């Protein structure tokens, strides 16, 4: 049995009218991209159900979204040369520590939104001024965190959703 960490309903695809669902809002200019191009978000989470929900919900906002089930796949993807505007990174995954992955993103100047339900991770983020969404979270909080990361263009920018 898998546990879903997102608290909103999953958008449903109506093949005649596109995505329908809750949490839809007008995008800020930072989210829309430049010259009509969508911003590219990379979602890195080892839980396939959570990853799929995040990907689908970001796609409803016209983001170009890629996903990776691990840090090693994230690193390989970043080497392809495909520009990534922001990474959503799960804090607790098997393999390489997410702190190391986050530092790799910082070195590449890629904004990151970290997600976790771990009390230790939440304390670390608060102590270090990092943006971290606490699981479970609402999709609106995810959109706000991505908006903050894209607008700032800085690694680990604290957002208002951190409380």
pLDDT tens-digit map of 80-117: 989 999 999 998 899 998 888 988 998 899 998 989 88
Contact 111, 124 (CB under 8 A): no
Report d(CA 57, CA 34) in Å as an integer.
Answer: 21
Other Cβ atoms less than 10 A from the Cβ of 59: the count is 15
| Of 17 and 49, the one with more pLDDT | 49
Domain membership of residue 27 (yes or no) is no
Domain membership of residue 71 (yes or no) is yes
Tell me the pTM. Answer: 0.74
The answer, yes or no, to whether residue 57 has pLDDT greater than 50, is yes
Other Cβ atoms less than 10 A from the Cβ of 75: the count is 15
Domain membership of residue 99 (yes or no) is yes
Other Cβ atoms less than 10 A from the Cβ of 90: the count is 25
Domain membership of residue 119 (yes or no) is yes
Secondary structure of residue 132 in the 3-state scheme: strand
Domain that holds residue 79: 38-158
Domain membership of residue 59 (yes or no) is yes
Report d(CA 101, CA 103) in Å as an integer.
Answer: 5
Domain membership of residue 29 (yes or no) is no
Domain membership of residue 107 (yes or no) is yes
CATH classification at residue 150? 3.40.50.2300
Report d(CA 31, CA 60) in Å as an integer.
Answer: 12
Q: What DSSP element (H or E) covers 146?
A: helix 139-152
The answer, yes or no, to whether residue 65 has pLDDT greater than 70, is yes
The number of folded domains in the chain is: 1
- Polymer length in residues for the chain: 163
Report d(CA 126, CA 95) in Å as an integer.
Answer: 24
């Amino acid at each position: 049995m898998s546990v879903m960490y997102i608290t909103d309903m999953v958008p449903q695809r109506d093949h005649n009218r596109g995505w329908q669902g809750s949490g839809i809002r007008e995008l800020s200019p930072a989210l829309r991209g430049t010259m009509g191009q969508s911003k590219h978000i990379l979602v890195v989470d080892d839980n396939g159900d959570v990853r799929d929900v995040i990907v689908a919900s970001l796609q409803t906002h016209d983001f170009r979204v890629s996903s990776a089930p691990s840090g090693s796949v994230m690193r390989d993807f970043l080497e392809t040369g495909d520009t990534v505007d922001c990474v959503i990174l799960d804090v607790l995954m098997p393999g390489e520590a997410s702190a190391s992955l986050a530092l790799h993103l910082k070195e590449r100047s890629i904004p990151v939104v970290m997600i976790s339900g771990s009390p230790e991770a939440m304390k670390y983020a608060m102590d270090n001024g990092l943006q971290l969404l606490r699981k479970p979270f609402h999709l609106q909080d995810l959109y706000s965190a991505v908006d903050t990361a894209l607008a700032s263009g800085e690694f680990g920018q604290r957002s208002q959703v951190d409380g």
